[in-house]
Chains A and B, each alone.
Chain A
Amino acid sequence: MTTLVVAEHDNAALKPSTLNTVGAAAKIGQPVHVLVAGHACAAAAQAAAKIQGVDKVRIVDAPPYAHPLAENLAALVVSMANAYSHIMAPATTFGKNFLPRVAALLDVAQVSDIIGVDSPDTFMRPIYAGNALATVQSSDRIKVITVRTTAFEAAIADGGSAPVEATEAGPDAGLSRFVTQELTKSARPELTAARIIVSGGRGMGSGENFKLLEALADKLGAAVGASRAAVDSGFVPNDYQVGQTGKVVAPELYIAVGISGAIQHLAGMKDSKVIVAINKDGEAPIFQVADYGLVADLFQAVPEFTAKLN
């Protein structure tokens, strides 16, 4: 029995989420294949072949997969599915978008956002915004699973030498097409992979004020995140959002500035190793999860914090 990991990549390179998903696949304890479906994606396939613990890379290189349109990608995975007992993808917007189609077409359940593997058919996953953890068992013939990347160690990206096998592409379903994208360009680390995150909430007051957090983040080599309130108010773009339905992060250090700590925000960051909260409201719920809380005016505290770092 073999596990298929559907790689998330941009044709030139793999996304870190793929490595965490291979890490999760390793816990199932059976051979792992990685599917790299894209267009002009040989480089991504080569990278997948180097991952330790990968037994084979299957490459499908054709125009219908230039962008991971759910209709095309799901049909492709379904055409390959019978060789596998487990099909996994990261629980990123990439994986969440297409994998349920695969499950439905195979007439099996999907287990979303797993944080643990108890056995090949039993998994742990968060429910109710992570306020409860459920252990679920699937008796379906193929297990279809999305993986919470922060819960699994990344497989080592070097040292492997798996064969790369070209697999036949499917047709373009012609039901959807990519029009355009607006991606945030930043020299800072990606939120879900960052070691340190500085995050701002409604208390920041404006997008302009986020410059204070950026200065702190630069000193720390950190990523910058935000609460839903800050995104809704237009302070920062949507991809900054940390929370139940935004990004789930688990950095070494999470610094929450002007964030009250609503249930839905905590869902996205409460697994951080160290949590710092800076807020002028001493009653804010964030202080209940903070390891270190500073009740202060962030407009004084944050610049002072930045200045005290070398």
Chain B
Amino acid sequence: MKVLVAVKRVVDFNVKVRVKADGTGVETANVKMSMNPFDEIAVEEAVRLKEAGAVSEIVVVSIGPAQSQETLRTALAIGADRAILVDASADVQPLGVAKALTQLARKEAPQMVILGKQAIDDDSNQTGQMLAALLGWPQATFASKVKLASGELEVTREVDGGLETVAVKLPAVVTTDLRLNEPRYVTLPNIMKAKKKTLDVLKPQDLGVDLAPRLKTLKVVEPSKRKAGVLVKSVEELVAKLRNEAKAIP
């Protein structure tokens, strides 16, 4: 079975982003970039399925700027077989990405597309679901466990109330949640091997998709800062302040 994994290059999760003074966006120049953590989990899951003998080929894809090739090389180093970059500006939005992935999925004919549930930069949580809809496939989002049965996937999902298990017919789209797996560290030998794996670059026109963004960002601001707090010296002082000052407890 072939699996397609989609990954995104984002600001590293440890970076505390700064809003640009001109309000046009967030400062990303000279900021550390990494593979979206949820996408890393997706690549890891595909590789584990391959190691278990359930998957024959893993194709990893990214829709983004040229530097996304680094992200793809990391995915190849984790264990993907082949990579595709759809060379687009950094301002791609979920609907456009889903359309590009739809065309790639039609070309590559995987049994499963797996990707992170959300990118930690725009926090949209839409792409996987949109892709599934455009393909007419079922989806299993926020996956914390994926089991391959005959012709279907049994997926346990993290939902607000706890856990829910659904069964979806293949082919299907899966989006990953935090606890699906713990991604492996990439080893130097695998990084070297990854350099020899194929990385094709396509243009959006090659897929016949229009990636023009639909939503226009009018401005970006910092959230209002909280007033500075105080350190209390004892539980007694804490309770007194909560009661009398903050009036937060009776």
B217 to chain A, nearest CB (A): 5
Q: Which A residues touch B95, using CB under 8 A?
A: 103-104, 107-110
Contact of A134 among B125, B140, B165, B217 (CB under 8 A): B217
A182 beta carbon closer than 8 Å to chain B: yes
Q: Is the CB of B242 within 8 A of A244?
A: no
B212 to chain A, nearest CB (A): 11
In the complex, which range does the number of interface residues on chain A fall in? 35 or more
Choose among B120, B122, B168, B215 the residue with the greatest number of A CB atoms under 10 Å from its CB: B215
Contact stretch, chosen from B79-87, B194-202, B233-241: B233-241
* A 155-200 contacts with B by CB, 8 A: 173-184, 192, 196
B146 to chain A, nearest CB (A): 13
B124 beta carbon closer than 8 Å to chain A: yes
Q: Is the CB of B222 within 8 A of A184?
A: no
A247-B178 in contact given A136-B216, A292-B232 (Cβ < 8 Å):
no
A101 beta carbon closer than 8 Å to chain B: yes
Q: Which A residues touch B125, using CB under 8 A?
A: 96, 100, 112-113
Instruction: Considering the complex, give the chain A residue whose CB is closest to the CB of B129.
Output: A100
Q: Is the CB of B133 within 8 A of A294?
A: no
B43 beta carbon closer than 8 Å to chain A: no
Contact stretch, chosen from A21-29, A33-41, A124-132: A124-132
Contact of A308 among B13, B229, B236 (CB under 8 A): B236
Number of interface residues of B (CB under 8 A): 80
Q: Is the CB of B220 within 8 A of A181?
A: no
A253 beta carbon closer than 8 Å to chain B: yes
A247 CA / B238 CA spacing, docked (Å): 27
Q: Is the CB of B26 within 8 A of A181?
A: no
A257 to chain B, nearest CB (A): 12
A239 beta carbon closer than 8 Å to chain B: yes
Q: Which B residues touch A102, using CB under 8 A?
A: 133
Q: Which A residues touch B66, using CB under 8 A?
A: none
Kindly supply a per-residue 1/0 record for chain B positions 118-156, scoring 1 wherever the CB is within 8 Å of any chain A CB and 0 otherwise.
101111111101111110011111101000000000100
B188 beta carbon closer than 8 Å to chain A: no
A173 CA / B132 CA spacing, docked (Å): 13
Q: Which A residues touch B178, using CB under 8 A?
A: 228, 232, 245
B225 to chain A, nearest CB (A): 10
A94 beta carbon closer than 8 Å to chain B: yes
Q: Is the CB of B126 within 8 A of A100?
A: yes
B193 to chain A, nearest CB (A): 30
Instruction: Considering the complex, give the chain B residue whose CB is closest to the CB of A251.
Output: B248
A192 CA / B160 CA spacing, docked (Å): 9
B214 beta carbon closer than 8 Å to chain A: yes
* A 102-146 contacts with B by CB, 8 A: 102-105, 107-113, 122, 126-140
Q: Which B residues touch A179, using CB under 8 A?
A: 154, 165-167
Q: Which B residues touch A127, using CB under 8 A?
A: 26, 121-123, 220
Q: Is the CB of B17 within 8 A of A132?
A: yes
Contact of A176 among B138, B179, B239, B242 (CB under 8 A): B138
Instruction: Considering the complex, give the chain B residue whose CB is closest to the CB of A10.
Output: B161
A178 CA / B13 CA spacing, docked (Å): 34
Instruction: Considering the complex, give the chain A residue whose CB is closest to the CB of B142.
Output: A93
A98 beta carbon closer than 8 Å to chain B: yes
A295 CA / B232 CA spacing, docked (Å): 8
Q: Is the CB of A131 within 8 A of B231?
A: no
Instruction: Considering the complex, give the chain A residue whose CB is closest to the CB of B227.
Output: A291
Q: Is the CB of A182 within 8 A of B235?
A: no
Q: Which A residues touch B140, using CB under 8 A?
A: 176
Q: Is the CB of B162 within 8 A of A71?
A: no
A304 CA / B226 CA spacing, docked (Å): 28
Q: Is the CB of A292 within 8 A of B238?
A: yes
A87 to chain B, nearest CB (A): 14
Q: Is the CB of B231 within 8 A of A293?
A: yes
Q: Which A residues touch B231, using CB under 8 A?
A: 287, 292-295
Instruction: Considering the complex, give the chain A residue whose CB is closest to the CB of B144.
Output: A238
B191 to chain A, nearest CB (A): 27
Q: Which A residues touch B234, using CB under 8 A?
A: 294
Q: Which B residues touch A232, using CB under 8 A?
A: 178-179
A270 beta carbon closer than 8 Å to chain B: yes
Measured CB to CB, the residues of B under 8 A from A are: 11, 13-14, 16-17, 19, 26, 38, 93-95, 98, 117-118, 120-127, 129-134, 137-142, 144, 154, 157-169, 172, 177-179, 214-223, 226-227, 229-232, 234-236, 238-239, 241-242, 246, 248-250
Given A70-B141, A126-B223, A129-B120, 15 further pairs, Cβ under 8 A: A70-B129, A100-B126, A109-B93, A127-B121, A127-B123, A135-B219, A176-B167, A176-B169, A181-B164, A245-B118, A253-B249, A263-B16, A275-B226, A292-B232, A292-B238
7 pairs of A and B residues whose beta carbons are closest in the complex: A104-B130, A175-B138, A100-B129, A109-B214, A101-B133, A100-B126, A183-B161
